[in-house]
Amino acid sequence: MNDLADASFYRPRTDFLELGDAAGAPFYDAVEPASFPAAVLRYRNDRAAKTVGLEALSDDDWVAHFARFAPLPDNIPGPVAVRYHGHQFRVYNPDIGDGRGFLFAQVEDDRGRLLDLGTKGSGTTPYSRAGDGRLTLKGAVREILATEMLEALGVYTSKTFSVIETGEALIRGDEPSPTRSAVLVRLGHSHVRFGAFQRLAFEENAEAIAELVDYCIARYYPDLANLPDTEKAPAFFREAIKATASLASQWMAAGFVHGVLNTDNMNVTGESFDYGPWRFLPAVDFSFTAAYFDHQGLYAYGRQPDAAAWNLSRLGGALSLVAEADALNESLQSFQGAFEAGMADAFARRLGVTALGASDREGFEAAATLLSWMEEAKVPFQQAFHDWFGGKASEARAATSPIADAYGGEAFAPVRAILTSAESDRPERLDHPYFDRPSPPDMLIDEVEDIWAAIAEREDWSVLNAKVDDLRLMGDALDIRR
């Protein structure tokens, strides 16, 4: 495994190990990966690998690192399962943690950020409970599709880095069994979940909470490092609120429903990750849910901002062990303003315009007007954004859309006024051949099932590969920068 010896860019980090258990509360446990009977490389994300200097790995070395989990050079010497708790559908659960995954390595990317390589389906840990620590191949394929679509649409998401089929037959109650198995590696901006703070609060370990706050500030919010100790936790909380509100806005602009917005599925950098029962909207429906077991619609499309705010309140509760409650509550009150700013920004980016109003409030109201019309008109979600990307610059193109009839009449007039009065942002993007196509790629559940069926029934991976290529083409054309 010498492919990295001459790599011009590979910067290993081991920052997480510095947490240790100095505060009398270990943040992680050393674990052993599962020994799989097979290791067939199905997906390697060389685009993401290039950002962290790992694209030079041969396929054999890739498998050695991301299926057998041989340590990367000068990196974390062995996998660690991170300890955390969490509210799951608003019920507190102290018996969770990294149950089928672990932190494998840390690296610095070409933007100077600390990123983590974490796993899913890598075997049992002390937190697996009755689970087998495995991941279905179908689940891995679904995560590829979710992350590629979200990245193309400008959502701040983890990257599916690697998928390797592992040769086991798994029994699952929610899909035909036995089914194929895989181990997935994701590249993400922080392995620190809200639930990590909740666990330490549950254990009443203020010293460890303060240590974790310092870790997060130093790695993710360094501008806060010189604040007095009494101000660090509230300031860190404000940054987490801003990042989380922005993420919720991006989900709304992408027409995405995460499905399981538990506190252990949200992290301190506001990056979307951990894709189980996700869905994209066929059309705007604020009550649309992704998880079949979300009977009360707690995490429905329209309730995702509320879920994010509620989860932040739990994080604030944990931080109250090291900060004044009044200061934390004051920070929490900033969520609505941050969400409005996030919506104004996310919808402007998705529509390829500089702004949707003269203020964040105007931009938020414009986004709400657009969503209200889309709900009433029942137009395909992604089609409407495709047709009007660039605002007025695409008015003639929208007139030739498959749903052009929806853009006539009085109901659309207020939306047309918003779109045509907005200034196009980088209008040269419309010269991309992608915008010659009448409709954009989508990711509705029927297509997801068809992509899986091609693999399961015919061992045809070309359908998945073609879809990934198409999504990346869309992402290159939209160029929604994050």
- Known catalytic residues are 264
* CA–CA distance, 82 with 98 (Å, rounded to integer): 5
Residue pair 255/441 in contact by the 8 Å Cβ criterion: no
* CA–CA distance, 442 with 282 (Å, rounded to integer): 9
What are the b/e assignments for 42-52, b being 16+ CB within 10 Å?
bbbbeebbebb
CA dihedral over 154, 156, 162, 167, signed as positive or negative = negative
Task: Classify 284 in phi/psi space as left (phi over 0), alpha (psi -120 to 50) or beta.
Answer: beta
Residue pair 84/99 in contact by the 8 Å Cβ criterion: no
Residue pair 361/271 in contact by the 8 Å Cβ criterion: no
Residue pair 153/480 in contact by the 8 Å Cβ criterion: yes
* CA–CA distance, 340 with 423 (Å, rounded to integer): 20
Q: Which of 445, 446, 433 is nearest to 474 (CA)?
A: 433
Residue pair 57/4 in contact by the 8 Å Cβ criterion: yes
Q: Which of 378, 370, 371, 385 is nearest to 434 (CA)?
A: 385
* CA–CA distance, 124 with 36 (Å, rounded to integer): 12
Q: Which of 192, 139, 53, 195 is nearest to 455 (CA)?
A: 139
Q: 3-class DSSP state for residue 184?
A: strand
